[in-house]
Structure 1
Amino acid sequence: MTPFQQTLIKIDQYKAAIDELVRPLIKVSYHWFAHPDRGDDAAGHYFVLDVEGLPEGERWALVRRVLNDKDQFTEGWTVPVRHDDRTVTLSADDAYRLLNDGMRSRMTPSWAVPAPTPPADPAQARRNLETRLGWEDLPVLFWQSTPHDSPELVNGLHGQNGIRGALLNQDALRPHGGFNFSSAYQGPDPYRGGLLLADSRRAISVAPDGTVTAAAVATEQMLGWGMDQGAGEARRINVVALSEMMLEYFRLVDRKILPAVEGPWRHRVVASRFGHAPARTLAPGPNSSFPFLGMVRPASANDWNKSWIAQGDPEKDAYEGLQRVYALFGLDADQNPYVRDRKLSTDVLQTAFR
C-alpha cells in the first residue's frame, strides 16, 4: 500500500459515480487515515470507502456499467459479490437462474405462497436483553446468530432433548470457573416466548425462531477478569476470557442450535460502548502482568457491528469473530496466541488453563 496526498481525491466524484451507477442505492461512508510512519519516504494518507452490507432480501446490487480490458467504462451491467477478502462477479448461469426464479414466482398465485415470517431484528434483541439485565450503560460484547429462513417456532425449543436441554447441559471446556455461558446453579427461564440463561455478567437467549443473542460485560466482572493492575487497567480485555467465551459460544451454537433450522445462518459480533471513557483496551499476544509501553490498544470506535455467513465449524467461526473484535483495536486475530491456521484452536487454548 502506498500513501498519497489528500488533494488527489475528489470525494464528490466518487459519490456521484456510485449514486449514478449502483442500484439499489447503497450506503457508503468515506474515511481518511494518516500513514502512521511520519518519515519523508512514506508521508501521506489512505482513503477508504466503507460500503454497508445490503439486507438479505435486497441483495445483490447491480452496477450499470462495466470495465473493459483497457480499464475503461463501457455499456453493460454486472453484479459484484463479496467473497472473503475479494470481489467476484455473479456468473451468467446464476443470473439466468435468478431471472427464471423471479419469473416463476410471478406466475404463482398469491394464495399459494405462504406468508414469510418477518426476520428477527438483531438490534432490538440486543436492546431487549440489555434492558432485562440493566446493562444499558455498561460496555458489552454481543454474539448473535440468525437463520436466513426463520420458522415461527423452532421444533424442540423447550424440550429437554432440544435447545433447552442443550443450554442446561452445555459441554463447556471448563464447566466450573471457566469463561462460558453455562450455569451449575440454574436452568434457562422463559423469555419472550423463548429461553434465557443469565446472571449479572453474562447471558444467552434463544428466540422462538431460533435467533441466538448472547452477551458478556466487558468489565472486571467478566471480559476484563483479573486485569485490574492499577492505573485504570480494569478496562483492559483479558485475552483468555475473550478467547474462551468466543470459542464456547460457537461450540454451543454451531453444534446444537444451527442444526435445528435448515439453511444458511449469519453470525454477528457487536461491541457496544467500548469507546466510552475509559475506553476498553486489548493487547496482542497473551496476558502480561507488566505490558510494554504502547502495547495496549484502545477501541477505535464506540459501537462496532460486524457479521459473516456461518461456517458451522466452531473453531473457524470463533476465528472469524476474533478477527472482527481485534480489528476494533487495530489488531489482527493472528496476534492471538491461541490461533492456528485461521482457527481458534481448542487444544492450544486449553494450555492456558493449566
Structure 2
Amino acid sequence: MAQFGAQFPALVCVRVRSDDMAADSRVQLISYLAVQQPYEIVGTPESEWVDFKSVPPEGPYDLSTDKGKFELAKDVAAFANASGGLIVCGFKAKKKQTELYEVAEKVTPFDKKVVDSTKYKDVITEYVRPLLQVKFFWYDHPGGDLKASGYYFVIEVPALPEADRWAMVTRGITDNGQFIKNSWTIPIRNGDTTAFLPQDEVYRLLNDGLRTRRGPDTAPAPAADRVKSRDDLCNALDMEKTPLLFFQSVPDHPRGIVPGMCADHGLRDVLSNQDTLRGAHAFNWSTAYTHPEPREGGLLLADAPRRGLLIESDGAVTGAAAATSEMLGWAMEQHSSGGPRRISVFVLTEITLEYFRLVDRHVLPLVGGTWTHRIVASDFTRKPARTLAAGDDPTFPFIGSPQPAASATWNHGWQALGDPERDAYEALRNIYALFGLDVTANPFVDADRVITAKLLEKKR
C-alpha cells in the first residue's frame, strides 16, 4: 500500500448529493455549509426562510446601482417581516415546470473579492428601518473539487419582533431602476417570492395597528430620555458648572446587557481605535491620552475638560462636549470680546457628525429595533451666554452676526435614522433652532444631511 500511495496522487472525495436529499431547515443548511457539503443543499426549494443567489461578476447584488441597493434592502426587510431567513449566495436556483418554487440546482461558489461585506452592511443600515442585527458568514467550498472552487456568502436576517414591525425600505424605485426620493415600501416574504404591503393595509395599520397593540386606554411610551446618565457623565468629568452639549442615544426597547462589550473587537476596542475623519487630535470623541474604563457593566471614555463618552451596559450612549474654548468654542475667543462666548460652526458640525459616525455604525446594530437620538444644551444661557452665527467665517459680523441661546434646558429627540450624515443633520437642525437660526445657515449641510466632503475640504 505504501508503494501504491507513492505512485499515485492522493484522491480527494467530494460527496455529491443523492436526488432525495435537501436541507429542510436553516440549521441543516448551515450545517451542510459548515462541514463543506454544499452539494447536499442542491434540491432545496426557496421558501419563506431561504433565498438563493447566483453570483455574476458584480456580485450577488450590484451595489454600484440604485437597483442593486434596493434589491438587497428589499430582501433583508422581507425576511425581517416574516420569520427571519437566510440569503445564500453561491447557488443557482431555477423553477422547473413540475415544481411550484425555484430550487437550488447548481453550486456556484465564487471569489471573496466580489463581495465587500462592509458595503452590504452600509446599504442595509442606510435603507432599512428599523435597524436590524443582520449577520454575514463565509463558508469554504471543499478543496480538491475539480468542478468548482471558492466560497459561499450567507446573510442571516433575524425576524423583527412583533412590537417593532414593520421593517421598511426607505426608498421606492422606478421601472428604470432609479431611487424615488421621499418614498418607501414595506416588503414581505411570501413563500419563495417577495410581495409588498398594500396601501390599504398600510393605511389600516397607521390608524388601527398602534391603538390595538397598546390598548385603547394606554398612552404611548415617552421618548427615551436618561437624565441620570447625563448627570453621571457630568459628575465623572467634574464639569458640573460647565455649559455642555449632550448627545444621547437610547434603544426604545432595551434587551439587557450587550454581550462582548469588553471582548476583542468589542466596543472597548472601537472606542480605543476610532475611525475618525481627521485623527485623534481633531474634533471628535477619540483621545490619545486616556483609555475606556469599565463602569457598571459599560464603558466610560473621559477627556475632561473637553468631552466625555459613556456607554451603558444596555448599549445606551451619552456624549458631552464642553461649550467652551476647550471644544465647541475653539479659536472663537478673539471674536467674543469679553461678551458672549461664540461657538465654532466647524467644530460643532464635525463633532456632531463624528458622534453619529461612531454610534450609528458601531452601537445601534448591537441592539435591534428602534432607537431615539437626543441633543440637550445645558446652561447655554449662563453668563457669558453661548452664541452661534450663520455661515462659518466669524470675521464677517454682518453675515455671521451671532445669536444668543434662547433656553438653558434645550432638549429635543428624534427617532434614529441610522445614517450618520442624516442623524447629524437632525441634531444640527435642533441645535440651530436654539439660537433662532435655520440649519440651512450651516455651510456644511445640503438637503437633509451633513456633507462630509465639505467638512474635509474646509480643513485641507
Q: Per-residue deviation at 1:120?
A: 7.4
Matches of residues 262-341 of structure 1 in structure 2 within 5 Å? 262-292=368-398, 295-341=401-447
Question: Which amino acid is the alignment partner of residue 285 of structure 1?
Answer: G
- Determine if the alignment matches structure 1 residue 203 to structure 2 residue 308: yes
Q: Can you give the 5+ residue segments of structure 2 that lack an aligned partner in the other structure?
A: 1-201, 216-222
2:328 is aligned to 223
Question: Which amino acid is the alignment partner of residue 226 of structure 1?
Answer: A
| Alpha-carbon distance in structure 1 between the residues aligned to 2:329 and 2:386 | 9
CA-to-partner distance for each residue in 1:270-305, whole Å, 9 max, x for gaps? Answer: 000001111100000013235238811000111100
Indicate conservation of the 8 Å contact 1:219/1:234, yes or no. no
| Alpha-carbon distance in structure 2 between the residues aligned to 1:282 and 1:96 | 44
Indicate conservation of the 8 Å contact 2:310/2:317, yes or no. yes
- Larger CA deviation: 332-341 vs 228-237: 228-237
Indicate conservation of the 8 Å contact 1:286/1:337, yes or no. yes
Residue 102 to residue 134, structure 1, CA distance change in 2 (3 Å): closer
2:227 is aligned to 123
| Alpha-carbon distance in structure 2 between the residues aligned to 1:233 and 1:195 | 37
| Alpha-carbon distance in structure 2 between the residues aligned to 1:121 and 1:290 | 38
Highest CA radius of gyration, 1 or 2? 2
| Alpha-carbon distance in structure 2 between the residues aligned to 1:231 and 1:275 | 17
Question: Which amino acid is the alignment partner of residue 266 of structure 1?
Answer: T
1:353 is aligned to 459
Indicate conservation of the 8 Å contact 1:210/1:257, yes or no. yes
Q: Name the SS of the counterpart of 1:304 in structure 2.
A: strand
| Alpha-carbon distance in structure 1 between the residues aligned to 2:242 and 2:277 | 27
Question: Which amino acid is the alignment partner of residue 164 of structure 1?
Answer: R
2:160 is aligned to none
Q: Can you give the 5+ residue segments of structure 1 that lack an aligned partner in the other structure?
A: 1-89, 104-118
Q: Name the SS of the counterpart of 1:307 in structure 2.
A: strand
- Determine if the alignment matches structure 1 residue 140 to structure 2 residue 244: yes
1:238 corresponds, among 303, 328, 344, to 344
Instruction: Provide the TM-score with structure 2 as the length reference.
Output: 0.52
1:164 is aligned to 268
| Alpha-carbon distance in structure 2 between the residues aligned to 1:93 and 1:209 | 30
Q: Per-residue deviation at 1:190?
A: 1.0
Instruction: Provide the TM-score with structure 1 as the length reference.
Output: 0.67
| Alpha-carbon distance in structure 2 between the residues aligned to 1:136 and 1:309 | 28
Q: Per-residue deviation at 1:191?
A: 1.6
| Alpha-carbon distance in structure 2 between the residues aligned to 1:102 and 1:227 | 50
Number of equivalences = 250
2:255 corresponds, among 124, 131, 151, to 151
Residue 160 to residue 185, structure 1, CA distance change in 2 (3 Å): farther
1:177 is aligned to 281
> How large is the Cα RMSD of the aligned pairs?
2.0
Q: Per-residue deviation at 1:102?
A: 5.7
Matches of residues 9-88 of structure 1 in structure 2 within 5 Å? none
| Alpha-carbon distance in structure 2 between the residues aligned to 1:294 and 1:170 | 33
Question: Which amino acid is the alignment partner of residue 272 of structure 2?
Answer: L
2:296 corresponds, among 181, 186, 192, to 192
Residue 325 to residue 102, structure 1, CA distance change in 2 (3 Å): closer
Q: Per-residue deviation at 1:99?
A: 5.7
1:255 corresponds, among 331, 337, 361, to 361
Indicate conservation of the 8 Å contact 1:228/1:234, yes or no. no
Identity of aligned residues (%): 48
2:5 is aligned to none
